[in-house]
A and B are shown apart, each in its own frame.
Chain A
């Protein structure tokens, strides 16, 4: 048994920031992470992080209020406006804090942090470090956590939560390097495990972005919110779906169809390539569906050639390397073949502005959480921001909760049952013979989600997809482990992940089918209009062991900006 007052599950930006905050407040906190924290998926973010610093010559009169308005409008009015206000206000000090911590942001000539235009934003307010902003921020945050001496359990896979009498009391985790399971007792737990992109076969996400942290909370009885809102990034590389940053368009890149047209003119005549991601992805998909993909095929071009070699090398060096290595295309010489690709989970664990869930002792922050600041469609540059703003707030709230516990509330020695339960589960998986192939189920799930719950959605297609997902869920109960070894057992980790992924995918499917309107990323061909009278509300999905989720509604926090039609 290992004890820490606070256990943070996940070592990406949100988890690290939460840990640093709790540590500052004198809490005995530790990070438990499946990978060395500097390898987390936060590091794959490219284009930047939004804050109304007003550094750009064209953004002198930018304010956090304008940032808040753009975010709410981008969310198709499903974001909670009080949370958006908090985030956009906090954005400014948070960026300065990162700079003071050494984050290597790019600079304007006057020495201030550089900013670039991004989709759906009225001003150039996206602070960036070349096209590697996530990598820079993540390494800076790891460095801060090392300086703060936050203990890190690296390459430990958290398998489940420990819940005692409705209170979260720790986790059970698999020590990948030494082998075997261990109980972590804690007064509180913060889940910061990232998104669920890998439930789709066409995701930009890291392979570890399986949504397992969401599933742990879900299985423990905490609601997942707004799962049906899945962001498709307009520009994933054709072959691998690897991200080509929105910054490529922020720097002036064009989207071009087979006829050589900058087709965004038809869909967003003012914003053009810098329309929000939901609109841009739908535009690309429409071009493809109507036969104007390149050579009539399923992709269009992201053309950067007119930017010139110098600008590409200076502002977009990472994009160029990725295009060369993974697509065999040098953007200085040729246009890049791209396709809309699953990119971000707007939905996640239902939390308030301080990362609190409905379960005492359980907090969540970052992509795995749904505050909600992104509503039905996240703006580019707001996810890195969310991780640091709400990571800090969740860490502070958890610290405050722990400080407030009295003697009786503390240190209940529980969790042995949960530990035995996980060990039993592994034993029974390993002893099963002639069971299902977990990888066949994983592949079927990921292609079902891509085909049936993609950029455009329609009832009959989704119904068929939901039925397939229900079959897959039944099959998951009969999977067989192929390898029972103790050390670095990928077969076991990936089988555990699968059980969570199927439930999260079912939540996406059920929410999408139920929501009979189009809003943000959720675009239904059979219900093309937004329906504020009936659907200006969050979806809560509650776990049911035998089937799809039970769905409930939750009110949206309004008040500052009246819902209006979105035009760009």
Chain B
């Protein structure tokens, strides 16, 4: 039976008083046997069940739709559930929490700021007119504009990968701005000036320097960078030309 070596970055906040005072930060190696296929998430479960009950990681759907298990695997942002060990080549598999994020424990990042920023962009539809009796009509072409942004699973990979976030802690980051875009391009959304000031500022869309790390990091192959450039353009048009949307 083939074996995979998992090299896992560990951090335990309950051991901040260990010898080097780093919360026990270290890499642990584990050997995981497998038959025909094994995902990184399944490997983590094997370790937690059979080798080290103290290992912590996030999980839920194991089908790449919930966004729980985004990690840094062999130096690449990946969903652990969607990553087959066979595709990672020979050699040990290094699993780390998403970098540039505070760590709760082991592979679990602190997502507090990430979700707080998501909430600030008014991530919900804004309607100023009374709802119709039935659905709000939307043409297939208008609906198509939503295809990309509504696929976001808020896993945090883009946010973790963005140098502008590293450099400016208050920057909203790609995921929150992609969410703002998702509503700004929705033909049913009637926001006038409500959402605009939330992203049209120096800690919003203008902080994006089109480095495109987010595009590379996204496990759903979305393009937050492009969405943010659209937001910049839309904001300028609205301010200069006085357009509604």
**Chain A residues in the interface with B (C-beta under 8 A):** 35-36, 38-41, 43-44, 53, 95-96, 99-102, 104-113, 129-130, 132, 135-136, 139, 143-144, 146-147, 154, 177, 179, 206-208, 239-240, 242-243, 318, 321-322, 325-326, 439, 481-483, 485-491
Contact = CB atoms under 8 A, between A and B. Distances in A.
B227 to A, nearest CB: 15
A99 B136 contact: yes
A482 B56 CA distance: 13
A4 B131 CA distance: 32
A325 B54 contact: no
Interface in B77-126: 82, 84, 104-106, 108, 110-111, 115, 119, 122-125
Nearest to B137: A111
Interface string B33-51: 0001100000000001110
A342 to B, nearest CB: 14
A290 B124 CA distance: 52
B135 interface: yes
Interface string B55-70: 1111111111111100
Contact of B119 (A35, A146, A326, A491): A146
Given A35-B68, A206-B66, A486-B14, A101 B143 contact: no
A121 to B, nearest CB: 20
A41 B61 contact: yes
B3 interface: no
Given A100-B131, A486-B14, A487-B13, A35 B82 contact: no
B146 interface: yes
Contacts of A41: 60-61, 66
B21 interface: no
Contacts of A439: 49-50
Given A483-B53, A488-B56, A39 B68 contact: yes
10 contacts: A41-B60, A95-B135, A96-B131, A99-B188, A105-B135, A107-B140, A107-B143, A108-B140, A112-B137, A487-B13
Contacts of A240: 62-63
Q: In which size bucket is the chain B interface?
A: 35 or more
A102 B188 contact: yes
Given A43-B61, A107-B140, A491-B48, 14 more contacts: A40-B60, A44-B66, A99-B136, A100-B125, A101-B125, A105-B135, A107-B138, A110-B137, A111-B139, A129-B150, A147-B124, A206-B63, A485-B12, A491-B53
Contact of A488 (B105, B147, B150): B105
Contacts of B58: 35
What 7 A-B pairs are tightest by C-beta distance, nearest first? A482-B53, A102-B125, A111-B137, A143-B124, A483-B53, A488-B56, A439-B49
B104 A139 contact: no
B178 interface: no
Contacts of A44: 61, 63, 65-66
A143 B125 contact: yes
A491 B52 CA distance: 9
